[in-house]
Chains A and B, each alone.
Chain A
Amino acid sequence: MPEIKQKKMEQIAQLWNARGKGLITHMALQIEEVSTEGVRVRMPFNPDFCVDRDQTLLHGGILTALLDSVFGLANFVAIEGVSTMATLDLRVDYLRPAHSRADVIVRAHCYRQTRHIAFDAGSICFDGHDDAEIARGTATFALTRGDTSLFEAMTQGKPS
Chain B
Amino acid sequence: MNLQDVNANVSRVPFFRFLDFEVQSLDDLHAEAEMTFDSRHIGNPVMEYYHGGIIASFMEATAAIAVHPGFGEVPAKPINLTVDYLRPAVKGPLYARANVTRKGRRIASVSVIAWQTAREKPVAEGLYHFLLV
Contact = CB atoms under 8 A, between A and B. Distances in A.
Interface in A48-99: 48-53, 55, 57-62, 64-69, 86-94, 97
Q: How large is the interface on A (under 10, 10 to 19, 20 to 34, 35 or more residues)?
A: 35 or more
A19 B79 CA distance: 31
B53 A65 contact: yes
Contacts of A65: 51-54, 56-57
Given A87-B85, A159-B47, A55 B14 contact: yes
Interface string A98-116: 0000000000000000000
Interface residues of B, number: 39
Contact of B79 (A24, A64, A94): A94
5 contacts: A51-B74, A92-B81, A94-B78, A94-B80, A154-B45
Given A21-B45, A94-B80, 5 more contacts: A21-B40, A53-B12, A61-B56, A68-B51, A97-B77
Interface of B: 12-19, 39-47, 51-54, 56-58, 60-61, 73-75, 77-85, 88
